[in-house]
Amino acid sequence: MLKQNPFNRLFFKLLLGFWLCSSLIIALVSLLPLLQQNHDRSKLPPSLEKVLQHVAERIQQQPQLLESENLQRLQRGRNHKGGPIRLYLTDDQGKVLNNKRVSREFRRFLLMAEEADQPISHQFRDELIFGPYSFEVNSKTYQLFGRLPDNHPRPWFLFFADNKLLTAGLAILLSGFLCGLLAWYLGKPLRSLKQSANALARGDLANRVDEATASRRDEMGQLAVAFNAMADAVETMVNNQQRLMGDISHELRTPLTRLQLSLALARKKGQHSTELDRIEYEALQQEALISELLTLSRVRLNATEKRLTAELTETLSQVLDDAEFEAEQQGKQLHINIDDSICFEHFPKTLSRAIENLLRNAIRYAEKHVYIESQQTKHQVSILVKDDGPGLPEEELEAIFTPFYRPDSSRDRESGGWGLGLAITQAAIQAHRGHIAAQNQQPHGLIVTISIPNQLSH
């Protein structure tokens, strides 16, 4: 047995999936401030440095500008392009000398400049602040800063750094999308397993989990392989059982034929008695039972015929003629509503036997009317058989398709038989990968609905 890679286990896939998803979201959100800082902050451009240098040289040449009554003249200047610029002069303690009102952005810039330990420029929302430029006057150190309106375009992703709530909402949506993809990846094989299990429960023993799921290397793939192995074993066991039943039924015909031959010879010799009549009756009953068992076995094994593409009316022609005749003999009426254009791929003899059993049951228990209807859609062909008889108790509507089931109701007390007719019908519909169900109708009567996948669309 090959050693399995532990990283193919579902545990590691779940761990890595959720870990990578959360890590990606955290990384994206955490990088936004760093990206913004790297974009907005840069070294002091030479052009702006020259502006501050020019003002500093002017102050050094005219020290009287540092007097309190002249400091107001240092609030405004011109940049290298001739545009207005706001100037800030600070002493060696960081106190602003020429302006009593200082914006919050400028105070933030002072801290940034102190941390940077070199002249820088920083782009705020709608202004650019730059500096400091240090110089000395009368052995005292001063620093000069500049501020000018500047609203140049910023990268689109920095929009999220300024809108925290929107960024959090988008992060949640992105996280949900990534987790949804992971859930879909894990849920898809489970849906395939569920569909195969339901199909197996309905009697479709040939249904298997798809190859894409079975070829996975995690626990899902192992489960799919185990399920397919189980389905193979179940199909083999059921088919062997059906073959055994067919073989036994076939072998029983040999002594039964000899018994019937002995009875015929006794009749020929003129031997007549109540006992011989009883033996002949039971032999006929036994022969009919064996015939039904052989039919059920062959239908379940689906080994009697090949699929053909034919019209439904053509397949059921003889069955409907016989049913009309039987209904007339019992003083009842059969209503047929089948479109001549319905054509699909099916087993003609098998389907005919199924419909024949349903019509005979419906005619037997109907008061006056029996209906057979059919319609074809893109995906399936539906056949309905209805009667106006007494119906069945709700708890028996599913059990009537079980072999040898004899419902204890007025509908079946006088019917005779062995409870194989509807079992043969169900086996015939399952051979078509279809579904059959019975339900009561109001005020009385029974509806049997057959649904067969449409193998040929027009």
- Asked if omega into 84 is within 30° of 0 (cis), the reply is no
What is the number of other CB atoms lying within 10 angstroms of the CB of residue 7? 11
Q: Which residue among 54, 80, 122, 250 is the active-site one?
A: 250
The Cα 448–Cα 358 span in angstroms is: 8
Known active-site residue 250: yes
Distances (CA, A) of 390 to 323, 332, 339, 366, 447: 20, 15, 29, 8, 11
Q: Convert 421-437 to b/e letters by CB count within 10 Å (16 or more is b).
A: bbbbbbbbbbbbbbbbe
- Any residues with CB less than 8 A from the CB of 17 and at least 6 apart, and which? 182
Tokens of 100: 């009593």
CA distance 324 to 3: 68
What are the residues facing 435 on neighbouring strands? 451
What's the DSSP call for residue 367? S
Report the DSSP pairing between strands 369-376 and 333-338: parallel
Q: Which positions are catalytic?
A: 250
